[in-house]
Amino acid sequence: MKKISRRTFLMLATGGATAFITKKFLIDRPHKEKIYKFPIKNIPLINEKPDMINPPTTDSGTLPNLRFAFDDAHIRKSTGGWTRQITKRELAISNTIAGVNMRLYKGGIRELHWHKEAEWAYMLYGKARITAIDIKGKWFIKDVNVGDLWYFPPGIPHSIQGLSKDGCEFLLVFDNGNFDEESTFLLSDWFKHIPIDILAKNFNTRKEIFKNLPSPEKKYIFSGEINNKIYYKNIKMTQNSRYKFSYKLMNNNIIKTKKGEIYIADSSTFHISKNISAALVLLEPGSIRELHWHPNNDEWQYYISGQGRMGVFASSGQARTFDFKSRDVGYVPFAMGHYIQNTGPERLIFLEIFNSNYYADISLNQWLAVTPPYLVQQHLNLNNEFIENLNRKKCPII
């Protein structure tokens, strides 16, 4: 066998490899732009993220990743259900919001607890029962269904229980990107870290009854029993908090167009929700959430169903396009212009969520429509036809 010199080896390892890649993976896009295509064998991945694998020519710069999938997040399983989270650790750009996807089996209980952060929630599936106590010591007990919201301010203790035959599922949103679901204040955890003599004195009882306290790891989310008899008795006697911790989103504050609907909830309608505002957006096939930006805070998105893509403009010549499907999370940093397009055959349904007490957006169309025409024309070299088609009335879905 003929020996290969070091020089020959290096040539084969560099130039030869480059020639191989050039020949095999150089492709022509429809617009005749030549690009190098990596040998990706995961066809489903290509189908899910066509604009990330083969981005449009309008993409430019080094805008960081603005997408993460709950399907790629770690799942914590318990006897009463499961939970997974997307925080700043999973999506580095997510400074203002963290999200938790949780499922409770029938009777499953997310144990009594509280957070330093505010908790906002959207019911995705089934039926759940929430309880809370307000700062006046008054109880709130409510059964919530698909599309309903709840909100617990920081420090307010609460619980959640699954009621449906096959359980329930919901999205939890917290007003801090560094939130960690496993750093909450748990009832069982606190009891295990209080001296027994202090427990006995505090609750005016014998020390012996505290000898079999459960491990916090066995609670957290655990199997439980549903007792409607006691529930309905309590609800008549104790549901007297003046605070409304739940809200029926689909019954209020709707913007309706021929191509979709938007339901908005912020402190002006869901009064207790002081830290988080949101909009549920429904886009029909082929429609877009118009070119716009938000002047109040970063936007955190959760895609409920359908498929779509989002184009984001970050100024200074930077722009990037992302593809989304059910259970994906998207993020748009403060004030960045963007659009969302339904690219599938079914409705695209997603949530826009903000660490803010009010919902607001600026429409590019409306802004140009109310700007003196001669200014717009001089900026963009556009004729009167463009000016005449501008709309002074905001139309968020086109």
The catalytic site residues sit at: 352
Compute the distance between CA of residue 72 and CA of residue 105 in angstroms, rounded to an integer.
22
379 labelled ligand-binding: no
Sheet with 168-174, edge to edge strand ranges = 75-78, 81-86, 98-104, 168-174, 119-125, 148-152, 246-248
CB 103 within 8 A of CB 97: no
388 labelled ligand-binding: no
Compute the distance between CA of residue 82 and CA of residue 102 in angstroms, rounded to an integer.
6
158 labelled ligand-binding: yes
Residue identified by tokens 């709309």 is 391
The residues facing 256 across adjacent strands are 261
CB 172 within 8 A of CB 99: yes
338 labelled ligand-binding: yes
Nearest to 129 by CA among 169, 174, 159, 165: 159
Structure tokens at 300: 């955190």
294 labelled ligand-binding: yes
Nearest to 145 by CA among 280, 52, 249: 249
CA 89, 267, 362, 146: dihedral to nearest 10 degrees?
70
271 labelled ligand-binding: no
33 labelled ligand-binding: no
193 labelled ligand-binding: no
**Range list of H helices, 276-349:** none
Compute the distance between CA of residue 386 and CA of residue 363 in angstroms, rounded to an integer.
16
Structure tokens at 389: 């088609």
Binding-site entries for Mn(2+): 113, 115, 119, 158, 292, 294, 299, 338
Binding-site entries: 113, 115, 119, 158, 292, 294, 299, 338
